Amino acid sequence: MNTVILVAAGKSTRMGSNTDKAFLSLGSRPVIAWSLLAFEQSSAIDQIVLVVRKEQILAAKSVAQMFGISKLREVVAGGSRRQDSVVNGMREMAPETRIVVVHDGARPCVTPELIEATIKTAKRNGCGIAASRVWDTIKYVERGLTVDRTVDRAKLWAVQTPQAFKVELLQRAYEAVEEQKAVVTDEASAVELIGEPVRLVEWPRHNIKITTAEDLPLAAAVLKIN
């Protein structure tokens, strides 16, 4: 069984006060509905666990019902950090889960093809992480606005979600995170912490994360929303 933990419990601080970007309108649907539908349509996904802010649990259930999300197993409250939200979601997985996929609810352009590619890589290598090569010239700045050096972009990748893992690997990684009181910003970092290899899945298509209001029209263009 393959289960996705769809994480949409962030505070959306860069979007503006009292704004939950997961429930903003993107075309005719809330942002979170696009990801829910992609996982619903993926033949590789059996169940969905949706993680949202506590005050949005009822709204999330309503969205899932409105768009016919039959694979939804549970809607749970997130924690104060991303890693806490993911762990909360993993607690609700079916015991039969063998592959767990973690995806940001703020990435509405995810496709069934990308979901299936990460799962395929995870089955073969333990994990599969969506990523794209960095093409811009990257400058390293220690402080202020003065450049210290240029970083070799040939070795740089921008990591995204979905991130797929064999369950026992991600569980072991998060146990280490807790033991070491570490803070990680994605699941791949947790796996790196225990010294296990992280395998990337190159995805050159747009898979943007909605962070500010300016990202909404970009996502609409990718999704070809009129």
Summarised one tens digit per residue, pLDDT across range 157-199 is 999 999 999 999 999 999 999 999 999 999 999 999 999 999 9
Which single residue is written with the structure tokens 């609409």?
220
What does R_g of the chain's alpha carbons equal in angstroms?
17
- Give residue 225's pLDDT: 77
Task: Tell me if 34 sits within 8 A of 109, measured CB to CB.
Answer: yes
- What is the structure's pLDDT at 52? 96
Structural domain harbouring 158 = 2-222
Q: Domain of 198: which CATH number?
A: 3.90.550.10
The pLDDT score that the predictor gives to residue 12 is 57
Give the number of other CB atoms < 10 A from CB of residue 225.
14
Question: pLDDT tens across 14-73, in order?
Answer: 555 566 889 999 998 999 999 999 999 999 999 999 999 999 999 999 999 999 999 999
pLDDT (0 to 100) of residue 124: 97
Q: What residue type is assigned to position 146 of the chain?
A: T
Answer for the pair 223, 35: CB distance below 8 angstroms, yes or no: no
Total domains, the chain: 1
- pLDDT 10s digits, 148-168: 999 999 999 999 999 999 999
User: Which residues contact residue 202 at a Cβ distance below 8 angstroms, ignoring those fewer than 6 apart?
Assistant: 131, 132, 133
pLDDT tens digits for 191-224?
Answer: 999 999 999 999 977 898 998 888 888 888 988 8
pLDDT of residue 218: 87
pLDDT number for residue 74: 96
Q: How far apart are CA 83 and CA 146, in angstroms?
A: 33
For residue 226, pLDDT over 80 is answered with no
Q: Which tens digits make up the pLDDT trace of 83-92?
A: 999 999 999 9
**Which tokens is 153 given?**
């972009």
Query: Which pLDDT belongs to residue 18?
Result: 61
